[in-house]
Every structure is written in structure tokens, then in C-alpha cells.
Amino acid sequence: MTDVLAEIYPYTLSFHIMAVISWMAGLFYLPRLFVYHAEKATVGDQLDETLRIMEFKLQRYIMSPASIATWVAGLMLVFTPGIVDWSEIWPWTKAAGVVSMTVFDHWLMIKRKQFGRGENTLTGRQYRMMNEVPTLLMVLIVFSVVVKF
């Protein structure tokens, strides 16, 4: 099995990068939609309905498949011989960043469902601040992999 993983490594890495790009696009965009939803929409109005549809489709059809693909390809890379040396620090910092990104993604799912029920409790400003979380995690993950600190 590990021989197969080594042979398909360039394809797995390519797929992983494409999945991460798709997932990150959603992680950047969904909190921005929440800003508009919290600031401009009223429960039950046309904008509320439009934003709920946009948020649902973004999460269901782009973010969820992309996060699953990211995890599957990432785990394939982890099990590819010679790629990850767990005695170094960088795989642990990357893993912490990826797990944190996944927790953030699930937090967004909870918030989207609250908007769907008309139960949002956060302000647009709070969503703006949360919009920085994926950027900070991306910096940690990329530096972990590229610089290997």
C-alpha cells in the first residue's frame, strides 16, 4: 500500500492543494456572508432568505466536500513513506492548525444553522473578527510545511 502512495504522491499532493484552496475560499467567504446577514437582513425578509440559501449552498456543496477531500488527501500524504517525520515539530504545528481549522469550520456550521432558525446572536463586527481566524491558521499551516519550524 505504501508503494502505491509513493507512486501517486504528486497526484495526491496536487489534489490536496486544490481541495485546500476550495475549502479556504469558503472559510474566507462564509463569515463575510454572516457579516452582511447580521448587519443588513431582518429575519424573514428577502435578503435573509437569499443569504440563508447562499450560506447553505456554500457550506453544503463547496466547503464540506472540500474539507473532506483535504482530510483524505492529507492523510494519504501523512502515510506516504518519507513525507512526514513526526520527530520534527512542523507536522505537529501543521496538525494543530488543521484541527483548529476544522473546529472553526464546524463552528461556522453551527452559526449557519442559527441564522437558518433566526437565532443569530453575534454582530457583524464579531463576524468580521472571526473572519481573521482562517487567515491566522493558514499562516501557521503554510509556515509549518514550507519553513518547517
Tell me the whole-structure pTM to 2 decimals: 0.93
Domains held by the chain: number = 1
Give Rg (Cα) of the chain.
18
Alpha carbon distance 23, 10 (integer Å): 20
pLDDT of 17: 98
> What pLDDT shows up at residue 149?
80
Range of the domain at 131: 2-146
Tell me how many helices (H) and strands (E) the chain has.
7, 0
50-91 per-position pLDDT tens digit: 999 999 999 999 999 999 999 999 999 999 999 999 999 999
